Amino acid sequence: MNEAMLPKILGHVRQTSILQSTMSMLEWDQNTGLPPQAAEYRAEQLTLLAGMVHQRQIDPVMGEWLDQLDTSSAQEDPSSPARVIARCMKREFDRCRRLPQALVEELSHATSIGQQVWVESKLSDDYQRFLPQLKRIVELKQQEADCLADPGQSRYEVMLDSYEEGATVDRIQKIFGALRESLVPLIREGSERCARLGPSVVEGHFPIVPQQRFSKWVAERIGFDFQRGRLDQTEHPFCTTLGPHDHRILTRFSEDSFSSGLYGVLHEAGHGMYEQGLDPQWYGTPLGSAASLGVHESQSRLWENLVGLAEPFWRWAHGPLLQHFPTEFRDVSTERLVQDLNRVQASLIRIEADEVTYNMHILIRFELEKQLMSEQLRVEDLPEAWREQYRDYLGISPTEDRTGVLQDVHWSAGLIGYFPTYTLGNIYAAQLYAVADRQLGGLASQIERGEFRPLLDWLVERVHRHGQTYLPMELIERATGEPVDSRYLVEHLATKCR
Q: How far is the CB of 444 from Zn ion (least distance, A)?
A: 25
Q: Considering beta carbons, is residue 183 or 290 the nearer one to Zn ion?
A: 290
**Does 300 participate in binding Zn ion (rule CB under 5 A)?**
yes
Q: Considering beta carbons, is residue 241 or 300 the nearer one to Zn ion?
A: 300
Q: Tell me the window of 147-155, 295-303, 355-363, 433-441 that interacts with Zn ion (CB under 5 A).
A: 295-303
Cα(247)–Cα(238) distance, integer angstroms: 11
Q: How far is the CB of 290 from Zn ion (least distance, A)?
A: 11
| Residues annotated as part of the active site | 268
Q: Considering beta carbons, is residue 81 or 425 the nearer one to Zn ion?
A: 425
Q: How far is the CB of 268 from Zn ion (least distance, A)?
A: 7
Q: Could you tell me how many residues of this chain bind Zn ion (CB under 5 A)?
A: 1
Q: Which residues contact 429 (CB under 8 A, 6 or more apart)?
A: 297, 298, 299, 301, 302, 305, 306, 489
Scan residues 184-243 and list those touching Zn ion (CB under 5 A): none
Q: How far is the CB of 417 from Zn ion (least distance, A)?
A: 16
Which residue, 486, 497, 360, is CA-closest to 426? 486
Q: Considering beta carbons, is residue 257 or 300 the nearer one to Zn ion?
A: 300
Q: How far is the CB of 317 from Zn ion (least distance, A)?
A: 21
Q: Considering beta carbons, is residue 81 or 264 the nearer one to Zn ion?
A: 264
**In this chain, which residue has its C-beta nearest to Zn ion?**
300
Q: Considering beta carbons, is residue 93 or 433 the nearer one to Zn ion?
A: 433
Q: Tell me the window of 226-234, 293-301, 379-387, 452-460 that interacts with Zn ion (CB under 5 A).
A: 293-301
Q: How far is the CB of 484 from Zn ion (least distance, A)?
A: 19
Q: How far is the CB of 271 from Zn ion (least distance, A)?
A: 6
**Does 431 participate in binding Zn ion (rule CB under 5 A)?**
no
Give the per-residue SS3 of the chain: CHHHHHHHHHHHHHHHHHHHHHHHHHHHHHHHHCCHHHHHHHHHHHHHHHHHHHHHHCCHHHHHHHHHHHHHCCCCCCCCHHHHHHHHHHHHHHHHHHCCHHHHHHHHHHHHHHHHHHHHHHHCCCHHHHHHHHHHHHHHHHHHHHHHCCCCCCHHHHHHHHHCCCCCHHHHHHHHHHHHHHHHHHHHHHHHHHHCCCCCCCECCCCHHHHHHHHHHHHHHHCCCCCCEEEEECCCCEEEEEECCEEEEEECCECCEHHHHHHHHHHHHHHHHHHHHCCHHHCCCHHHCCCCHHHHHHHHHHHHHHHCCCHHHHHHHHHHHHHHCCCCCCCCCHHHHHHHHCCCCCCCCHHHCCHHHHHHHHHHHHHHHHHHHCCCCCHHHHHHHHHHHHHHHHCCCCCCCCCCCCCCCHHHHCCCCCCHHHHHHHHHHHHHHHHHHHHCCCHHHHHHCCCCHHHHHHHHHHCHHHCCCCCHHHHHHHHHCCCCCCHHHHHHHHHHHC
Q: Tell me the window of 294-302, 310-318, 364-372, 482-490 that interacts with Zn ion (CB under 5 A).
A: 294-302
The answer to whether residues 85 and 67 touch, using CB atoms and an 8 Å cutoff, is no
Q: How far is the CB of 288 from Zn ion (least distance, A)?
A: 20
CA 323 to chain centre: 32
Which residue, 385, 424, 497, is CA-closest to 176? 424
Q: Considering beta carbons, is residue 272 or 284 the nearer one to Zn ion?
A: 272
**Does 292 participate in binding Zn ion (rule CB under 5 A)?**
no
Q: Tell me the window of 25-33, 167-175, 292-300, 479-487 that interacts with Zn ion (CB under 5 A).
A: 292-300
Q: Tell me the window of 1-9, 78-86, 179-187, 298-306 that interacts with Zn ion (CB under 5 A).
A: 298-306
Q: Tell me the window of 39-47, 299-307, 375-383, 467-475 that interacts with Zn ion (CB under 5 A).
A: 299-307
Scan residues 367-426 and list those touching Zn ion (CB under 5 A): none
Q: Considering beta carbons, is residue 89 or 250 the nearer one to Zn ion?
A: 250
Binding region for Zn ion (CB under 5 A): 300
